[in-house]
Structure 1
Amino acid sequence: MMKWLVVLSALVAFSECIRIPLIRGKTARESLQEKGLWEEYREKYPYSPMVKFEQSGTQSMTNDADLSYYGVISIGNPPQSFSVIFDTGSSNLWVPSVYCNSQACQNHRKYNPQQSSTFKWGQGPLSIQYGTGSMTGQLAYDTVNVGGISVPNQEFGMSRTEAPFLAHMQADGILGLAFQSIASANVLPVFDNMIQQNLVSQSLFSVYLSSNSQQGSEVLFGEIDASHYTGAITWIPLTSATYWQIKMDSVTINGQTVACAGGCQAIIDTGTSLIVGPTNDINNMNSWVGASANQYGQTTVNCQNIQNMPEVTFTLNGHAFTVPASAYVSQYYGSCHTGFGQGGSSQLWILGDVFIREYYAIFNTQDQHIGLAKSV
């Protein structure tokens, strides 16, 4: 997953919409590689991307060790600013707090309830499981400001403990954009609260992710920005209003079905950098594109061969969406890697940022559809 982040701007020209520009920060992987700690962390905290979709009494999320886009929000009065990942694969908002002594809290901004005149204690604790660890904390209420729109009485989590891996992340916390049905402690998500308080003109939000570290990535609440896509929007109904889950018919390369034979389920997840699928299917895809994998599942290809590598087509509810090699191969530290990650035995797929960078994504909560259009 190489996921998202940004310096926040104020409310823009649209009436009753929230536009949050996103910028790409240094990923946790890049930070660890610079320090020579990447392989150690991969072995100590193995990548478990499917853990966020395992249903239990506690809402779980994943951290794929490669988050990379963030946005700035504020909490409280006067406002305290935090960078957060806008994650369609989870439903809770949480940030570090002054009650946290974990290493990850020492190098991130921490929320101090004593400095906010609108703070109120919530009911009970919060615990969220990640693919590389977990966070625990306490629920609270305060005013949350996103892109210049104030959301009063928003329930959120104040972390008390955080997994060591989070110390290497650029973002301070996470703002979940999935449905309340999977929120820990049944917390009303931020966007749902915006809708209930009539703070947005439409019950949808849209996401544009730029490529190659370019600026311009954004989350737009309440509106669709036609300048970010070309052609028609394809609307796909949700199969489950929990995560943003849809039906995938197949994955093909050169006209041959290489994965998801007979159909499967897929999640459109801004909080995951990679395209993740069952291990056997991912291995088959990597074999078809000429990639080899190491013991951590990281795949390598010849950087000189990218232009000759095939496109990969994902057919979603009868509509084909093609991802070229220039989009699914990334280069860092002198080597090239595919953006296909192993998800174990689970048949659920995650279409993360590798996919979303190619297709402008619109998340309609009222109609329970996802719209996809070719990004420009």
Structure 2
Amino acid sequence: MKWIGFLSLVALSECLVTIPLTKIKSMRESLRERDLLSSYLQEHPYSQAYRFLHRQEGVTVEPMRSYLDLYYVGTISIGTPPQEFKVIFDTGSADLWVPSIYCSSPACATHRTFHPGKSSTFLSTGRPISLHYGSGSMTGLLGSDNVRIGDLVVKYQAFGLSQTESSKSFEYGVFDGILGLSYPTMALKGTTPVFDSMWKQGLLSENLFAFYLSTNTEMGSVVMFGGVDHSYYTGELKWVPVSRQGYWQITVDSISMNGKVIACDGSCQAIVDTGTSLLIGPNYHIFNILKIINARPTSTGEYIINCNTIRVLPDIVFTINGVGYPVPASAYIRRGQSNVCYSNLDDSFGHSLWVLGDVFLRLYFTVFDRANNRIGLAPAVA
């Protein structure tokens, strides 16, 4: 496995801190290189479907796709003295968790683990927690400690310490844990998510964060807390109201190709999710798009496309709040090994929600504005 860089913080102004992220090799590519992809998908047939987060009673449960592909990873630390972990900054979930020394699963043996006894500021609640995914699950205990992101220190932050991680996606993934950035209604009952803690503890000048995801480069991606660095996008930010406060959910007016509406006629709902790599949509509409671009299925459930067609295939245009956001073929098709090209589209296995994952977010700088419950979009700089 490779290539997670470290996370540092750059203070650009009083109101903005920028956290560099590192893009790493996709898990799908790593499994394919080891000839493990086909067997993995047979053992975990729902790993390509939405992920269902089943938490304790009284916590909102919403579907979201499990991540099997590209990740953007940064480094945080927990405890005193700090213990470092590589995490996915995920707008599709709200909780923070990392592996712990109490975990005996294979996934924990290949990742860094938190040692409560080595932190003078750790507090245990003794409360059990559980997160279930389509391809596996995590169980553990809830604790609290100081969490450092760059030189922001969030005190008494609740987080999960895993005891079991029953998933090969966790075992083969090059991230240790997940740091959720969705609304607090998604969080474990009685806990405050990391971003909400930042705001409540007066660490930020503005109640928002933003993502810039680099294209085809390992370095250069950033997540920003407390402000927006305008050098990462062109033109003006276009604002979209959040339609439901849980995931970062918005209304899409329509989806079209060559000026013809091919999906979402009369509007539909979509989730803006940094923890999902692909563009996800309802079965019928995704299969219709795959037919339009002449994609062919493989034994692993992926779809391959003639690489020579990338330069001639039309954009997929998402019209959101009256503004068109084109996604070109060079984005919704990816090149694999031996000049084989794969679709970056996937179906949602019976669900009506669309998911605008990293395929979309690499094209558009995205601001998540909690103060006004809206999302800002603008073309990202190349």
How does the TM-score come out when normalised to structure 1? 0.95
Pairing 1:277-356 to 2, within 5 Å after superposition = 277-294=281-298, 296-334=300-338, 335-356=340-361
Pairing 1:30-109 to 2, within 5 Å after superposition = 30-46=29-45, 47-52=47-52, 57=57, 62-109=65-112
Pairing 1:2-21 to 2, within 5 Å after superposition = 6-21=5-20
Tell me if the contact between 1:244 and 1:267 (Cα under 8 Å) persists in the aligned partners.
yes
Tell me how far apart the structure 2 counterparts of residues 300 and 187 of structure 1 sit (CA, whole Å): 43
Q: What is the CA deviation profile of residues 153-209 of structure 1, one whole-angstrom value per residue up to 9, with x for unaligned ones? A: 000000011123211001000000001101123421100000001101100000000
Question: Tell me, what secondary structure is at the counterpart of 1:142?
Answer: strand
Runs of at least 4 residues of structure 1 off by over 4 A?
Answer: 53-56, 58-62
* 1:175 aligns to 2:174 (yes or no): no
Q: CA deviation at 1:18?
A: 2.7
Counterpart residue number, 1:357: 362
Matched letter for residue 249 of structure 1: D
Counterpart residue number, 1:209: 213
Tell me how far apart the structure 1 counterparts of residues 127 and 39 of structure 2 sit (CA, whole Å): 35
Counterpart residue number, 2:131: 128
Q: CA deviation at 1:299?
A: 1.3
Matched letter for residue 180 of structure 1: P
Tell me how far apart the structure 2 counterparts of residues 55 and 314 of structure 1 sit (CA, whole Å): 32
Tell me how far apart the structure 2 counterparts of residues 123 and 106 of structure 1 sit (CA, whole Å): 23
Q: What is the number of residues matched between the two proteins? A: 373
Distance 1:6 1:257, change over 3 A: farther
Tell me how far apart the structure 2 counterparts of residues 117 and 299 of structure 1 sit (CA, whole Å): 51
How does the TM-score come out when normalised to structure 2? 0.93
Gaps in structure 2 of 5+ consecutive residues = none
CA RMSD of aligned residues (A): 1.8
Q: What is the CA deviation profile of residues 284-321 of structure 1, one whole-angstrom value per residue up to 9, with x for unaligned ones? A: 11111221223544111011221011111011122211
* 1:273 aligns to 2:277 (yes or no): yes
Distance 1:258 1:214, change over 3 A: same
Matched letter for residue 96 of structure 1: P
Tell me how far apart the structure 2 counterparts of residues 232 and 373 of structure 1 sit (CA, whole Å): 6
Tell me how far apart the structure 2 counterparts of residues 49 and 365 of structure 1 sit (CA, whole Å): 28
1:200 equivalent among 201, 204, 208: 204
Matched letter for residue 94 of structure 2: S
Pairing 1:238-253 to 2, within 5 Å after superposition = 238-253=242-257
Counterpart residue number, 2:238: 234
Counterpart residue number, 1:220: 224
What is the percent sequence identity of the aligned residues?
Answer: 43
Q: CA deviation at 1:52?
A: 3.6
Tell me how far apart the structure 2 counterparts of residues 78 and 164 of structure 1 sit (CA, whole Å): 30
1:261 equivalent among 258, 265, 268: 265
Distance 1:42 1:234, change over 3 A: same
Tell me how far apart the structure 2 counterparts of residues 355 and 137 of structure 1 sit (CA, whole Å): 33
Tell me how far apart the structure 2 counterparts of residues 233 and 29 of structure 1 sit (CA, whole Å): 33
Q: CA deviation at 1:213?
A: 2.4
Tell me if the contact between 1:207 and 1:360 (Cα under 8 Å) persists in the aligned partners.
yes
Tell me how far apart the structure 1 counterparts of residues 286 and 296 of structure 2 sit (CA, whole Å): 11
Greater mean deviation of Cα atoms: 257-266 or 350-359: 257-266
Question: Tell me, what secondary structure is at the counterpart of 1:184?
Answer: coil
Tell me how far apart the structure 2 counterparts of residues 258 and 294 of structure 1 sit (CA, whole Å): 24
Tell me if the contact between 2:139 and 2:162 (Cα under 8 Å) persists in the aligned partners.
yes
Greater mean deviation of Cα atoms: 192-201 or 208-217: 208-217
Tell me if the contact between 1:49 and 1:64 (Cα under 8 Å) persists in the aligned partners.
no
Tell me if the contact between 2:55 and 2:188 (Cα under 8 Å) persists in the aligned partners.
no
Q: CA deviation at 1:54?
A: 7.8
Counterpart residue number, 2:151: 148
* 1:28 aligns to 2:24 (yes or no): no
